[in-house]
């Protein structure tokens, strides 16, 4: 079970074998420790020492986000002791045949899911552009088999993503102001929700990778870099469309979320997270949660996580 706690001012305390979510004298929820896989905390949510010890004892992945959803850090289980598994995982990084096969499979799955969602949009919204872009994406899938480098596969993925987001706005019943994917900062409600859901998805995939005793850093489709969870990014790709993007369409089309639920920050405005205390030199917690994806410190004040592009060079192979 994954629990999200976003009520500001609440405390997570230990009582017997359970955890309680309390605010003042009121108890909001009782959490059974043996059922918990992950706890996600937003903003001003405190954990007592006894509750923290209980979380660590049961190795419950605990993620800390700001109130607006920026990643701060996490408490995770100890590193895997399976050195033989790690040795094999690192050896595969230098296996060009395996790397190519892995990258090809990931991108083929992602393309297939993107085409499927666009065809659903075409049927439900009578949007011909969605059908057209879906067919163009499907035409790219056979070309993956001919790609002989990972860079070529990244190029096909980049092209497919561009086609996909050209037609994605057609899936909304009302115009939500979404015209293209913008990560830093999100410029409209749709981009904001996509960013948030990709963050949630990254947390779940990261936890699964750790449970499997794998190292989250060595990847195949996403180039490896210092501090980048490349394997997590790799494994996320197929699930972006069928989980995050599909849910985004539902949230807006069913009017669960509306424009009035969002606020806009102007470039000249400085927004500060509400805190009880202000430190003179607060730590920079706004960096990309999966490390320096862009490698550019000037872009560190981001919300979203993985880029749609895999590398700087996204040209289609000739």
In a domain, 271, yes or no: no
Domain boundary among 45, 75, 105: 75
In a domain, 171, yes or no: yes
Q: Do 93 and 56 have their domain in common?
A: no
In a domain, 264, yes or no: no
pLDDT band at 297 (very low <50, low <70, confident <90, very high): very low
User: Span 214-223, mean pLDDT?
Assistant: 89
- Give pTM, 2 decimals: 0.70
Q: What is the pLDDT of residue 114?
A: 94
Beta pairing class for 26-32 and 61-65: unpaired
The CATH number covering residue 293 comes to 1.20.120.920
Q: What is the pLDDT of residue 67?
A: 81
Q: Do 50 and 141 have their domain in common?
A: no
Q: Do 129 and 199 have their domain in common?
A: yes
The CATH number covering residue 50 comes to 3.100.10.20
275, 44 Cβ separation under 8 angstroms: yes
- The total domain count for the chain is 2
Query: Average model confidence (pLDDT) for the chain?
Result: 81
119, 107 Cβ separation under 8 angstroms: no
Domain boundary among 75, 97, 128: 75
Minimal CA–CA distance to 125: which of 161, 159, 175? 175
Q: Is the pLDDT of residue 240 over 90?
A: yes
Domain range for 6 is 2-75
Q: Do 51 and 160 have their domain in common?
A: no
What is d(CA 111, CA 134) in angstroms, rounded to the nearest whole number? Answer: 9
Give tens-digit pLDDT for 142-181. 998 888 899 999 999 999 999 999 999 988 988 888 888 8
Q: Do 26 and 132 have their domain in common?
A: no
Q: What is the pLDDT of residue 296?
A: 41
User: Span 11-24, mean pLDDT?
Assistant: 89
Q: Do 53 and 107 have their domain in common?
A: no
Starting at the earlier edge strand, list the strands of the sheet with 11-15.
26-32, 18-23, 11-15, 46-47
User: Span 290-313, mean pLDDT?
Assistant: 41
């Amino acid at each position: 079970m994954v629990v999200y706690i976003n009520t500001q001012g609440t405390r997570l305390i230990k009582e017997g074998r359970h955890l309680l979510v309390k605010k003042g004298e009121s108890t909001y929820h009782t959490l059974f420790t043996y059922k918990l896989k992950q706890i996600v905390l937003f903003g001003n949510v405190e954990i007592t020492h006894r509750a923290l010890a209980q979380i660590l004892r049961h190795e419950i992945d605990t993620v800390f986000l700001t109130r607006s959803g920026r990643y701060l850090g996490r408490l995770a289980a100890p590193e895997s002791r399976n050195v033989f598994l790690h040795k094999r995982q690192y050896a595969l990084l230098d296996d060009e045949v395996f790397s190519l096969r892995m990258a090809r499979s990931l991108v083929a799955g992602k393309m297939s899911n993107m085409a499927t969602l666009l065809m659903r949009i075409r049927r439900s919204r009578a949007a011909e552009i969605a059908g057209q872009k879906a067919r163009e994406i499907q035409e790219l899938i056979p070309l993956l088999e001919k790609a002989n480098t990972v860079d070529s596969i990244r190029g096909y993925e980049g092209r497919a993503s561009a086609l996909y987001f050209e037609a994605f706005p057609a899936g909304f019943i009302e115009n939500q102001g979404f015209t293209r994917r913008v990560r830093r900062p999100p410029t409209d409600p749709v981009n904001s929700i996509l960013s948030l859901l990709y963050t949630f998805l990254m947390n779940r995939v990261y936890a699964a990778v750790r449970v499997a005793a794998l190292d989250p850093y060595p990847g195949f489709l996403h180039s490896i870099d210092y501090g980048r969870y490349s394997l997590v990014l790799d494994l996320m790709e197929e699930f972006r469309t069928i989980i995050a993007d599909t849910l985004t369409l539902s949230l807006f089309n069913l009017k669960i979320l509306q424009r009035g639920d969002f606020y806009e920050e102007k470039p000249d405005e400085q927004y500060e997270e509400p805190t009880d205390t202000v430190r003179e030199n607060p730590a920079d917690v706004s960096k990309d949660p999966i490390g320096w994806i862009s490698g550019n410190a000037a872009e560190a004040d981001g919300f979203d996580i993985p880029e749609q592009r895999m590398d700087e060079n996204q040209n289609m192979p000739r």
